[in-house]
Structure 1
Amino acid sequence: MQLRHLLLCSVFIFFVLYAPQPLLGLFASHFSVSPATAGSLMTATMLPLAIAPLVYGLFLAKRNPLTILKIAMFVLAISCIAFTLAPSFELLLLVRFIQGITLPAALTAMTSYIGVTFQADQLQRNMTLYIGSTIVGGYFGRMLAALFTDFLSWQSFYYVIALGLVLFALAIPKSGKGASIHAAKSPLLYLKQLKDPLVLKLYGAVFCMFFCFAALLNYLPFILQDSFAITNTRDIGLVYSGYLLGALASIATPWLLRKSSTPWRLLTWVFVFYSLTMVLLMSQQLLLFVIAFTGFCGAMFVIHSSAAPLVNKISSAPASVTNGGYVSFYYSGGALGSLLPGLVYQQHGQVAFMTVLLLVCLVGLSLVYLAGRNTIRG
């Protein structure tokens, strides 16, 4: 399978995950539910994403990831059509939960395919390109969902996603060079290999990173509405443009790594910057808020682009299990971040909300700093 084909599949898969996010205010109004309840549309998807990838990682250790990817894309296409037909908020949640069960199979299959097909510098480069595709999918998933809603209807974008998923799935080859993964001798043995302290610290930092990111992007429409009186879905989609600059930051990650003495040091300094943007995001001035949001997105994607290949280098477990663990911790943070901070926001507002995110981010900073110190001592 050609890498560019894989990247296009990734873009449409991330459309599925993030398209509802700028529409949460619309769903809250249409179904007469609270912001935290509307935010549960993201939690319903990220919760199984937090649990399933490690299981799928063990499962994929015995199977061709391209076959799993194709099946998952067909299921996601069907779920997109079902989402447009759901007559109640409860059924929307059910469809999102089904998508959450299916998405980790696709994500783990893609990262596992890259992990076993490429080595050394190619692994870093292609994993960075993959992460770039997730950024593109996340940004345009949000932006296009907002634009289609403004000019046509929110359902229309889901028809486009479903069609794209089917067409790209049909083009996936039945087998691919380098796609074969050796059968697992002992799943428990592989899981024990993930107990490496450095791996666990990196997983924990990734959890903190995405907790903060998912929380802010989930409740961004409500912050824009309450603090800056921005309610139009098109304008909300434009504010998400800061997210796209994260793609540029992630492309610069290999250069930043070459300039840093160790990946841990780069992660430490980027976490410091990530924390500073959260302080600025407490601002009530729209221009400063948008600038801080852009820096926030850039920092998150540099962390992600550094951590994903790093964990593949330091883990002794198979690529499918290593990446399954990474995705599990990543979306565990997303699942909790998409729900719990929203309760704080509803009761105490923007500053308290950002303070919670800052505290979680500082935990992530501590983890990468300690991991870096342990590496130097080792």
Structure 2
Amino acid sequence: MPLIQLLISCVFIFFVLYAPQPLLAIFAQSFSVSPATSGVLMSITMVPLAIAPIFYGLLFARKNPLDILKKAMLILALTSVLFTLAPSFELLLALRFVQGLTLPAALTAMTGFIGQQYSGMQLQQNMTRYIGSTILGGYLGRVLAANFASWFSWQSFYYLFAFSLFVLALCIKPQRCQRPEQAPASPKAYLKPLHNRLIVRLFGCVFCMFFCFAALMNYLPFILQDMFDITDSKTIGWVYSGYLIGAVISMATPRLNQYFNNSWRWLSTLFAMYCMTLVAMQMPFLSVFLVTFTLFCACMFMIHASAAPLANKISDAPPTVTNGAYVSFYYSGGALGSFLPGLVLQNYGYHAFLFSLLLVCATGLLLSYMTYRQGTSMT
């Protein structure tokens, strides 16, 4: 399977995960549910993403990753079509849960294929390209879903990417990929990173980071509607451009990191900036919100880009084990952040919502700063 085909497939797979996010206000109105309840559409998908990668890594150890990817893409295509036809919100939730179980299978298969086919510098470069395709898929999934909802209907976008997933799946030739021969690791091995106090603190930082990010991204349509009177889904979709701009800014992370001789101090600085953006968003000016939202996204990607390699540096466990645990903490924060802050927004308003995120973000800052003050040196 050519790498470019895999990267294109990855972009469309991430459409499935993030397309509902800018449409939550539409779903809330169409099915007469509260904003917090509509946010469950994201939470119920991220819960399996937080747990399944560990078990899928063991379950698929002797399977052909391309065969898994092909079946997963077909399931995602089918459930996406059924999603447009669902007559009730409960059925939407059921379909999103099935997608949540299928998405980590596809992601595990893609990373497994890259790890199996490439090594050395090629492995690092192609894994970076894969991460780039996930960012692009997250951005385009949000923006295109919002714009299609404004131009045509939100269902039309689902039909488009479901058809694309179906065609891309049929183009996969599993027989061209050799089955891996290594034996699967013990399930207990996935608990090994948690024996390291530094790893636990770092994973706690990652949890806090994505909790705040998922919350703001999830309830952005409601915030723009209530605070700035923006109701057009197309305009809401373009506000998500701050996500992509932030991702581009985060590419400077390695260069900026050179000015710090301690990774924990660098993380503390990023979390401090993360907190400052949440404070600045309290001001009721759209221009201020757009700028700080972009900086907020940039901080998130910088923390992510710094924490992932740091976890692999300080962990004694195998890389697959460390990264599996990292992904679990990452999406656990996303699952809770997609729902709990919505209750605060719904019952206490925008400013209380931001304050709750600030508390979680400050916890991440405290975890990183405590480690730095205790003299941990990781250059």
Structure-1-length-normalised TM-score? 0.91
Partner residue in 1 for 2:211: 211
Partner residue in 1 for 2:159: 159
Q: Is the 8 A contact 2:22 2:145 kept in 1?
A: yes
Partner residue in 2 for 1:293: 293
Q: How far apart in 2 are the matches of 1:375 and 1:174?
A: 46
Q: How far apart in 1 are the matches of 2:375 and 2:124?
A: 23
Q: Is the 8 A contact 2:262 2:378 kept in 1?
A: no
Q: Displacement of 1:32 after TM fit?
A: 0.9
Partner residue in 1 for 2:236: 236
Aligned residue type for 1:271:
F
Q: Is the 8 A contact 1:143 1:238 kept in 2?
A: yes
Partner residue in 2 for 1:130: 130
Confirm or deny that 1:144 pairs with 2:144. Answer: yes
Give the 3 Å change call, closer, same or farther, for CA 250–116 of structure 1 in structure 2. farther
Partner residue in 2 for 1:84: 84
Q: Is the 8 A contact 1:58 1:320 kept in 2?
A: no
Confirm or deny that 1:35 pairs with 2:35. Answer: yes
How is 1:250-261 mapped onto 2 (pairs within 5 angstroms)? Answer: 250-261=250-261
Partner residue in 1 for 2:8: 8
Give the 3 Å change call, closer, same or farther, for CA 377–154 of structure 1 in structure 2. closer
Give the 3 Å change call, closer, same or farther, for CA 166–259 of structure 1 in structure 2. farther
Q: How far apart in 2 are the matches of 1:142 and 1:355?
A: 25
Structure 1 residue runs without a partner (length 5+): none
Q: How far apart in 2 are the matches of 1:176 and 1:295?
A: 44
Q: Displacement of 1:164 after TM fit?
A: 2.0
Overall identity of the aligned pairs, in %: 59
Q: How far apart in 2 are the matches of 1:26 and 1:68?
A: 33
Q: Displacement of 1:375 after TM fit?
A: 3.6
Give the 3 Å change call, closer, same or farther, for CA 122–282 of structure 1 in structure 2. farther
Aligned residue type for 1:359:
L
Q: How far apart in 2 are the matches of 1:162 and 1:217?
A: 23
Q: Is the 8 A contact 2:64 2:177 kept in 1?
A: no
Q: How far apart in 1 are the matches of 2:29 and 2:378?
A: 55
Q: Displacement of 1:54 after TM fit?
A: 1.7
Aligned residue type for 1:369:
Y
Aligned residue type for 1:149:
A
How is 1:338-353 mapped onto 2 (pairs within 5 angstroms)? Answer: 338-353=338-353
Q: Displacement of 1:371 after TM fit?
A: 4.3
Q: Displacement of 1:262 after TM fit?
A: 4.2
Q: Displacement of 1:334 after TM fit?
A: 0.8
Q: Is the 8 A contact 1:66 1:179 kept in 2?
A: no
Partner residue in 2 for 1:376: 377
Partner residue in 2 for 1:100: 100
Q: Is the 8 A contact 1:282 1:354 kept in 2?
A: yes
Structure-2-length-normalised TM-score? 0.91
Aligned residue type for 2:213:
F
Secondary structure of the structure 2 residue equivalent to 1:252: helix
Confirm or deny that 1:17 pairs with 2:17. Answer: yes
Q: Displacement of 1:163 after TM fit?
A: 1.9
Name whichever of 243-252 and 194-203 sits farther off.
194-203
Q: Is the 8 A contact 2:64 2:178 kept in 1?
A: no
Aligned residue type for 1:87:
P
How is 1:272-283 mapped onto 2 (pairs within 5 angstroms)? Answer: 272-283=272-283
Q: Is the 8 A contact 2:66 2:177 kept in 1?
A: no
Give the 3 Å change call, closer, same or farther, for CA 377–42 of structure 1 in structure 2. closer
Q: Displacement of 1:326 after TM fit?
A: 1.8
Q: How far apart in 2 are the matches of 1:201 and 1:340?
A: 22
Q: Displacement of 1:225 after TM fit?
A: 0.7
Aligned length: 378
Task: Output the aligned Cα RMSD.
Answer: 2.5
Partner residue in 2 for 1:363: 363
Q: How far apart in 2 are the matches of 1:194 and 1:274?
A: 26
Confirm or deny that 1:192 pairs with 2:184. Answer: no
